[in-house]
Structure 1
Amino acid sequence: MTVETNLQDNLDNQTAPFLQEAESTFQWTKQWYPVAVAEFLDSSRPHAIQLLGKDLVLWQDNSGQWHCFEDFCPHRLAPLSEGRIESDGTLLCAYHAWRFDRLGNCVNIPQSKDKETEARNCANQKSRAVVYPTQKLQDLIWVWAESGTEAEVESQLRQPRTVSELDDPSSRIVKPFWNIRDLPYGWDFFMENVADPAHVPVSHHGIMGSRYEDTKYYDMPRLREMSTQEGFAFEVTPTASNIKQTIHDFQPPCHMRIVTSFEDGGQLILVLYAIPTRPGWCRHIGRQILIKSDAGKTPPGLGFFALPMPKWLNHILASLFLHQDLIFLHYQEKIIAKRGKNKWLGEVYTPNPQDKAVIAFRQWLAKRAGGGVPWDAGCNLQLLNKETDSEKLFDVWTTHTKDCQVCQDALKNINRLTVLSYAGAIACLFLALFLDGRYVAMQALTEPASISMWNTLPPLGFGVAIAGAIILAITGYLLKKLSQLFYVYKFSHADNN
């Protein structure tokens, strides 16, 4: 028997308690899911989203409340996300102008014969939109994954997986902003990835360590026993000399909380949500929280992402980090899918203790949560085809920018500055030519006999204008390159030296 086999057997024995069947199976649809960051949405229009394979629409009424309906009009099943939010706070289907209030009631059918007929048809239950319980907490819009009267009651009995530190007014707590991105791999592969600290210095080489120097041995003892509803927690040990403890805490259905406590009393908390949108895709919403030490020192954050910067810049620079994992997880999911559904534990080889939390997650999914996400019946389950077009795989526009009002506004401003920079460069160039030509002409008129190479050199204004043209042209070029990050950011580990 090999050493590797012994390690695998020992690991299996340590995680054996997780294999026991739970008394109940995790209920995916009776949960709150954060589906959007309210601050980043354009509140003047409806927004199409997906959850568990269902097509939904988010919209805000004129009182500032967000609502979620299934994304179809009961009349002819046209998408309500292509509709309009009217001044009276109703959602209008832009196909035939049926209107719906915040409760899903149809309040206007303009093609009706008369008001009595309209009132009768609006009162019919078939005219109602399908409404999902919705609430806004910590600037996230949360949606309960079932609709109906019973769902409304059940949703009030369970609290979303919010973060207590975000409600704490203490000056010791630094709260950088949310980030959001749709990713071309499944919810389970996102959770598996963030349960695995061993990949960080390798996959994120240059940002979070070195693949050559920081791939060290450590163990992951279990801190909290597995629970169907509450998940599990593991500790990383040993840690760096300045770190007291690091914990990976999985809280179903969609929250991974990673807490690094430093010896001086400071903490770094990574708040990571992953929402199962449709097969082969998930929506990531995350942020970091920095808790100052007892002496008031701010701890190091996640790479350079904790540095002060505009929200839009943080959003587009997130591609530097997210795309380093994306390339692995997208293809990994396809490989597992080809080998058969729910075969993860039997297909992989995990001899080291660094994989304990990953194994625990896969066991929770297999034994406590029905083996996977129960997608909506009409959802396309095809996962085998991997994306080979890098423009689509590393797409930023569709997966973030088009739905982020902050980035949309920043992109418009950058495009305006780009045009102004190029226009300014052209203006400076013409000014330089004018000054040079005027100077030479004046020299020829005033001192024709004394013209030489030395006294016909361009005046100082010519040099300033040329320098200005060069600087503005370079600025325009750099702004154009920056704007491209709002659309596509390609990444190759082979080129990441």
Structure 2
Amino acid sequence: MTTEANLQGKARDVTQQYTKEETEIFQWTKQWYPVAVVDFLDPTRPHAIQLLGKELVLWRDGSRQWRCFEDFCPHRLAPLSEGRVESDGTLLCAYHGWRFNWEGNCVSIPQSKDKPTEAQHCLNRKSCAVAYPTQERQGLLWVWAESGDSAGIESQLRQPRIVPELENNSDRVVQLFWNIRDLPYGWDFFMENVADPAHVPVSHHGIMGSRYQDDQYYDMIRVREMSNQEGFSFEVVPVATKLSQTIHDFQPPCHMRIVSTYKDGGQLILALYAIPTRPGWCRHIGTQVLVKNEAGKKPDGIGFFALPMPSWLGHVLASLFLHQDAVFLHRQEKILARREKCKWLDAVYTPNPQDKMTIAFRQWLERRAGGGIPWVSECSSDLPPIEQDKQKLFDVWTTHTQDCRVCQDALKNINRLAVVARAAAIACLCLGVIVDSRTVAMKAVVTGSTSLLTAPPTQFWWAIGGAVLFAMLDYLLKKLRRLFYIYQFEHAQND
């Protein structure tokens, strides 16, 4: 049988397998996961990531395509994420200099006896890195969660959970910036949270309404029945007066699509992704998509996040929103875990219809998806303990800034501007002193008076005013710079 016939046979088998899967439990590893925003990655170096408990590395090869390997060198298991992307487009292990091409094949072993010996070692399958299928769609880098010979075929038979509106290139569709953040709670608690509109005006008081005025009754009506592979969706009834419909659509493994349709025909689409990285943590990637109505009117977005702003500013300001429920989600996950053998529905009290979608999500997870994330065997499934130091929960540097190229560049520019502002403040102050001293000296020469009560000249006050303004700018830049590192929040102080 020819190679082409073999591939066609494998494709038929895989297609039949996926048809059968709909009647079986959800398979977590046979899925596409968005793991990074391409524009935020530095292409000159490798990036360590986690997915389903696996340690992976992302890197861009000589053809400008992003690749994904397991994060170890087959030689001595050193992390490839600590290596280098070389000028010839190979990934170099910085421990002994082994190099790998985009397929994972080893192409150089410098310590070999001679070239024939090196070539022989490179042909050995044990010298290969473990590669995973990847693709770029809508500005995101997607990774298929399995490796191996059949992974390439299987990955081509399933589409990632993209945003259909972004495929049309319509001038009616406006996408705002992508945001990405590692969050200190599990994938399931993120999904549970975004399936729950009732928490929004309370938890996000001041940004998304008022906890005292907008915590109104509503029902959630199922509009798409539960499916192993396709999830389910619910409609919020009734909706705000300016809306005609709001639907929350869960699309496993990692997408929550929230569509609010306005009475004038415009739409606000929240494309929210949550990627299971390791126990007790997930990676969130999200964006707002605004669809104009027939008259070309753009709908409202989420608070000030819909205002025109550079990506880096949106990233640091996202903490104002994300940190408002971070402690809740971190701790409730740990509280549930402490109640051993206690199912979610038995542990909680949900008398109101606002919790219908949250309940449905937990039922899908329990009945259709094996009860939870199948972490790899090398990854401990034990949750980390409750983090009592809230500063660590509110950390921005390690959960975003250190791996975001646009934020790193913005931070460097802010630091430079702060130095300039500080220097300008000192220069203005010195100039004011010099001007005042010269004025006093000149008056002494003319009048013979040495009185210190002489009123300073106008130039002095301009110089002092400039010093004050530049000092204020330096202070404000320091406050802004802090948002790249940490943003602390307390509901007790959010009036």
C-alpha displacement of 1:382: 2.2
Q: Is the 8 A contact 1:342 1:366 kept in 2?
A: no
Deviation at 1:261, TM superposition (A): 0.4
- Which residue identity is paired with 2:437? G
Q: In the alignment, is the contact (CA less than 8 A) between 1:272 and 1:285 conserved in 2?
A: yes
In 1, are the aligned partners of 2:22 and 2:229 still within 8 Å (CA)?
A: no
Give the structure 2 partner of residue 343 of structure 1. 343
TM-score normalised to structure 1 length: 0.94
Tell me, in whole angstroms, the C-alpha distance in 1 between the residues paired with 2:312 and 2:290.
Answer: 20
Distance 2:428 2:319 in 1: 36
> Which residue pairs with 1:460 in the alignment?
458
Q: Determine if the alignment matches structure 1 residue 171 to structure 2 residue 171.
A: yes
Q: Which amino acid aligns with 2:474?
A: G
Q: Give 5+ residue unaligned stretches, structure 1.
A: 1-20
CA root-mean-square deviation: 1.2
Q: Does 1:475 align with 2:473?
A: yes
Residue 293 of structure 1: how far off its partner (Å): 1.8
CA distance in 2, matches of 1:167, 1:435: 63
Partner of 1:82: 82
> Are positions 1:360 and 2:360 aligned together?
yes
TM-superposed CA distance for 1:380, in Å, is 2.0
Amino acid at match of 2:256: M
Contact 1:338–1:384, Cα closer than 8 Å, also in 2: no
TM-superposed deviation, 1:453: 6.9
CA distance in 2, matches of 1:307, 1:351: 38
Deviation readout 1:416-468 (Å, 9 max, x if unpaired): 1111111111111111111111111111112215x6677x3111111111111
User: Given residue 158 of structure 1, which amino acid in structure 2 is its aligned partner?
Assistant: R
AA matched with 1:113: K
Which residue matches 1:159? Answer: 159
Please, which moves more after superposition, 434-443 or 41-50? 434-443
Separation in 2, partners of 1:146, 1:418: 47
Structure 2 spans left out of the alignment, 5+ residues: 1-20
Q: Which moved more, 1:374-383 or 1:102-111?
A: 374-383
Deviations 1:118-166 (A, max 9, x none): 0000000000000000111111000000001111110011110111111
> 1:22-73, CA deviations, whole angstroms, 9 ceiling, x for partnerless residues?
7301000000000000000101000000000000000001211000000000
Structure 2 SS opposite 1:283? strand
What is the match of residue 11 of structure 2? none
Deviation at 1:384, TM superposition (A): 5.2
| Structure 1 counterpart SS, 2:323 | helix
Moved more, 379-388 or 152-161: 379-388
Q: Which residue of 1 aligns with 2:491?
A: 493
Q: Which deviates more, 384-393 or 193-202? A: 384-393
Q: After the TM superposition, list the runs of 4 or more consecutive aligned residues in structure 1 that deviate by more than 4 angstroms.
A: 451-454
Deviations 1:450-496 (A, max 9, x none): x6677x31111111111111110111011011100000001111111
Q: Provide the secondary structure at the position in 1 that maps to 2:33.
A: strand
Secondary structure, aligned partner of 2:107: strand
**2:396 counterpart of 1:396:** yes
Contact 2:440 2:452 in 1 (8 A): no
Q: Quote the residue 1:272 is aligned against.
A: 272
Counterparts of 1:419-438 in structure 2 under 5 Å? 419-438=419-438
Structural mapping, 1:136-215, within 5 Å: 136-215=136-215
Return closer, same or farther for 1:342/1:412 CA change in 2, 3 Å cut-off. farther
- Distance in 2 (alpha carbons) for counterparts of 1:296 and 1:162: 24
Rounded Cα–Cα distance in structure 2 between residues aligned with 1:384 and 1:480: 33
Moved more, 370-379 or 162-171: 162-171
Superposition map of 1:304-315 within 5 A: 304-315=304-315
Distance in 1 (CA, whole Å) between partners of 2:475 and 2:289 is 35
Residues 237-281 of structure 1, C-alpha deviations (whole Å, 9 max, x = no match)? 011221110000000000000000011000000000000000000
Q: Which TM-score applies when normalising by structure 2?
A: 0.94
Q: How does 1:195-274 map to 2 (within 5 A)?
A: 195-274=195-274
Deviation of the 1:341 alpha carbon = 5.2
Structure 1 residues 84 and 381, CA gap change in structure 2 (3 angstroms): same
| Identity in percent | 71
